[in-house]
Amino acid sequence: MTGYDWRRRLALFPDTTRLLGEDEEQQLVIAGCDLVELASEYGTPLYVYDQATMDNAVRSYRQALSASYPEAWGITYAAKALLCLAVGQWARQRDLFIDCSSAGEISIAVAAGVGRENLVVHGVNKSQADLDATLAHAGTIVVDNLFELERLLALVDGRTEPLPDLWLRLRPGLAVATHAYRQTGQESSKFGMDAAEVARAVGLCIERGLPPTGLHFHLGSQFQDPSPVTSALAVTLDLMVALRAEYGWSPTVLCPGGGWGVAYCEEDLPQPSIDDYVTLVARQVAQGCRQRQLPLPRLQLEPGRSLVARPGVALYRVGAMKHTSGRRWLLVDGGLADNPRPALYGSCYSALPVWQPARPPAEPQWIAGPYCESGDVMIHGLSLPEMHPGELLAVPVSGAYQLSMASNYNGARRPAVVWLRGGEAYPVQLREHAEDLLRRDLPLPGSALETLAY
């Protein structure tokens, strides 16, 4: 763990984060909004999102693509990172495509007004409901395997309504450096098809009069070394040469997925550059196609985390402190249930007190939540000022894969979400209440319980 350099830690927060007030009055402010007020109004844990930081990330992708890719390009937002009505509206307004992984996500995107042409559906084992929702609402389906392709072709046989474009998901046999649970491109992965299967899929689609339009791969998530992506692009472009020779077919779209990482704690800084990554990928596709005399496809990137992670900050209230052997615990009112990532992947996080973050540090603190799991430890041994019950702790880079993986463990009620823009705070998701925990439950009839005799 590094020392307490609160200024450096601020680089993990949204672009609009400021320290306002003098000395005793100093506090963190995001998008001109008072976090203390928001926490009292909406309760804690509270998730706030800074729209300006989301927009800045989109702008970085757009600028790098338009500067380095000479053909058409597009950006798909991977909705699994975070999806609610407001995020869908934002994606739609920014003209992003949106990647949904189930009928459930499709229904949220549709409710947000995302149009058919912008809706892309992924999934490794799509259910009938997923396929039905895809046919009803999506402009593109990314086919994961040959069984799915057969089912899909049977399902659309004789249909007169417009069909979604078919993309095929390739498993290039390459791994990115990230947690094993987030690797998806290696040979042993459950995702996608190998090159021979993709070739069979292309043949099958052509035979049935439904030629695919795209090739897709996604190697994994939260990587910072892009070299496996460049190797996977070479594999894909070689496959495109082979497919052209065999079937006279070339994809009109190429999507090398998402996965570009973000810095979660000071040790990860500086923030990985979106510009460097996109420029590398775009140049490689353009050059690689030219070298192989392939027509340039539309280049479609598919980021999730790098658009929404840093815009999101989680606010927790300190409840208690304690010492155990060699550890000083700071116990806050959220953790595992709203952020399972430390327990699941050993992910690192950082934090700052909302009030007077420039106070001198105390001894390192273990920040943990209230849940009945020893794995409910959000941050290990963080250098932090002494904090007191009732104070607010802000955990940056909380925007991706936290709320979308949140649970009701121990009866936790999922937090409220507030959207910040230019001094205004818009609640976009309500906090769950005890009634929500009972919403799906039905009582057993008394007769069902009557038979056991002791």
Any idea which residues carry the catalytic annotation?
Answer: 372
Least distance in Å: CB of 142 to ligand LLP?
7
CA 47 to chain CA centroid, nearest Å: 15
Three-class secondary structure of residue 295 per DSSP? coil
Q: Is the CB of 81 or the CB of 281 nearer to ligand LLP? A: 81
SS3 content of the chain, % helix, strand, coil (to 5): 35, 20, 40
CA distance 444 to 70: 63
Binding status of residue 306 toward ligand LLP by CB under 6 A: yes
CA distance 249 to 252: 9
Residues 93-112 that bind ligand LLP (CB under 6 A): 99
Binding status of residue 403 toward ligand LLP by CB under 6 A: no
How many residues touch ligand LLP under the rule CB under 6 A: the total is 22
The residue to which tokens 């990330």 are assigned: 57
| Residue 340 · residue 359 · CB < 8 Å | no
The piece of 159-167, 299-307, 312-320, 432-440 that touches ligand LLP (CB under 6 A) is 299-307
Binding status of residue 38 toward ligand LLP by CB under 6 A: no
Binding status of residue 130 toward ligand LLP by CB under 6 A: no
Binding status of residue 228 toward ligand LLP by CB under 6 A: no
- Which among 397, 360, 404, 358 is positioned nearest to 378, based on CA atoms? 397
Binding status of residue 257 toward ligand LLP by CB under 6 A: yes
The type of residue at 425 is A
SS (H, E, C) 151-195: HHHHHHCCCCCCCCEEEEEECCCCCCCCCHHHECCCCCCCCCECH
Distances (CA, A) of 182 to 53, 126, 169, 185, 347: 25, 20, 17, 10, 12
x/- mask, ligand LLP, residues 328-357, rule CB under 6 A, reads: -------------x---x------------
The piece of 15-23, 286-294, 302-310, 431-439 that touches ligand LLP (CB under 6 A) is 302-310
- Which among 304, 225, 201, 197 is positioned nearest to 257, based on CA atoms? 304
Among positions 164, 303, 385, 396, the unique one binding ligand LLP when judged by CB under 6 A: 303
CA distance 251 to 154: 23
x/- mask, ligand LLP, residues 356-395, rule CB under 6 A, reads: ----------------------------------------
The piece of 105-113, 217-225, 236-244, 326-334 that touches ligand LLP (CB under 6 A) is 217-225
Among positions 74, 88, 123, 259, the unique one binding ligand LLP when judged by CB under 6 A: 259
The piece of 13-21, 86-94, 108-116, 296-304 that touches ligand LLP (CB under 6 A) is 296-304
Which residues bind to ligand LLP, rule: CB under 6 A? 78, 80-81, 99, 122, 182, 218, 221-222, 257-260, 302-306, 341, 345, 401, 405
